[in-house]
Structure 1
């Protein structure tokens, strides 16, 4: 475990536990000060997230909840929990805890399949398996019909669980653009990997219209990649195990909101994630992209 992961393992429970207690504080309670308000809404509509896993169904999107809370130092944005460490007029540094993302393809009921605005999702087995017993599939060697997802389940496909990530988030406003960077490490011991994320966003507002466009990239270490997309000896067929190296995914996103009434908005969300070869070359995967689209109404409680 790296030094930063050890530091986060100590900081996260110490910093977040008392702040979570204050965030759930109800007004009117003794010795309780309400320092912020909750913003809770529910999107109702139709959408889909494509699933690149072999023979796995695409993920329908019908009900999209959103939960936001902003205190003096503590904030919640759906599944993201943060503490503001420092800020000035244009910059902010936060301590952030968030779930991983990649488990959404293997678990239909993963929370990240409902809270679309979050960052960002059994034993992991031996990463890469035993290369002495079975040959390793090298990236680019996919000139074959991949095994079906059901077949892999019959070969004891291991459970790919959601990891908890924590680390630092830095954001800066430069003119009309917002730049955000994160460095996160697994503090739950699921895969012990790291992720680095960067995004560039621009906001447009005109009357009741509000549009956000953004582009970004996510780097994931080989521990993350192997945990979700690697094939161990227990899962492999005669073609052998698969080991994935660290890689970068590219992401583009459009989010449009139109205010109908005080409580109702119209919303259109579309995002595109380009999967690197290290993911698309896995025998578990049959596509090189993930497309998410949702359109519907949003009710603010």
Structure 2
């Protein structure tokens, strides 16, 4: 699962001027739901958006990459980004959580725990466990390959594959998404997206499993294994003037059955929604 809330104010990549920085701010109302037990929903009120696209190097809200294959209809890049799954387990009222959690300090125990528990029973049937009553889930840094296929003027396909390069959980994840754009008028655009997000057993087990180190009895131990989530998203944007535009965006993600059976997950779906105005500097 992911928290791509900066994407709600991103500009159309095809219209972005290269070799310059782009900064915009969205002001409005919305939230990112949290499916874990006792997890805080993330309120969306002010959302900054910072990006830079050069001939080959790019930065887009924390995604850093270098395109080594460029053609009229396809681009292949090596990219790196923070895996945002850990955000579901953080206290949004604590100002220092981001700085302290980004430090990749691995004692090597998380990887060995997953291997040791590989044969654990999946469906435990135990009561739900609060996300506040488990060991902290740390942030990780993903690095991998991203492919952008511009199938037509209105259809894009993105596929990526990432590995944990910080040794936090030694997991992998991959995503495939198809996006279709519709021109409603000179000022208005509608965008629809469908996709799949796969997470390896190591990644899913680390974040959504129950381990001995979490301090619960053996009967509560649970490992979901590899998971596949499905999602759909819609975005409506209308230009107001040279600097302002209205935007509405929503994303609904259906969680894998193995995630829903986890003692620390209480929702079968995860969603985000935002409506507001964006100012482009």
TM-score by length of 2: 0.81
Structure 2 CA distance for partners of 1:129 and 1:183, relative to 1, 3 Å: closer
Residues 31-64 of structure 1, C-alpha deviations (whole Å, 9 max, x = no match): xxxx711110011111011111112232211111
- Give runs of aligned pairs for residues 68-79 of structure 1, distance below 5 A: 68-79=51-62
Q: Distance in 2 between matches of 1:102 and 1:295?
A: 23
Mapped partners of 1:232, 1:66: distance in 2? 37
Partner of 1:86: 69
**Corresponding residue of 2:250:** 270
Match of 2:15 in 1: none
What is the match of residue 203 of structure 1?
181
CA RMSD of aligned residues (A): 2.3
Q: Does 1:57 align with 2:34?
A: no
CA change 1:207–1:97 in 2 (3 A) is same
- Hey, what does 1:177 align to over in structure 2? 155
- Alignment partner of 1:191 is 2:175: no
Distance 1:129 1:84, change over 3 A: closer
* TM-score, length of structure 1 as denominator length: 0.76
How big is each residue's C-alpha offset from its partner over 1:83-131, in whole Å with a ceiling of 9 and x where there is no partner? Answer: 1101111111111111113112112459xxx9xxxxxxx6564535976
Aligned residues: 248
- In structure 2, the partner of 1:19 is none
Aligned pair in 2 of structure 1 residues 170, 128: CA closer, same or farther (>3 Å)?
closer
Q: Is the 8 A contact 2:89 2:131 kept in 1?
A: no
Structure 1, unmatched stretches of 5+, are 1-34, 115-121
Asked if 1:222 is matched to 2:208, the reply is: no
**Equivalent-residue separation in structure 1 for 2:256 and 2:147 (angstroms):** 25
SS of alignment partner, residue 224 of structure 1: helix
Shift, 1:237, TM fit: 2.8
- Displacement of 1:76 in angstroms is 1.0
**Kept in 1: contact 2:114–2:202 (CA 8 A):** no
**Runs of 5+ unmatched residues, structure 2:** 1-17, 99-104
Query: By how many angstroms is 1:136 displaced?
Result: 4.3
> Residue 54 of structure 1: SS of its match in structure 2?
coil
| Equivalent in the alignment of 1:234 | 213
Task: Report if the CA contact (8 A) 1:50-1:59 is conserved.
Answer: yes
2:102 matched to which residue of 1?
none
Question: Is 1:147 matched up with 2:129?
Answer: yes
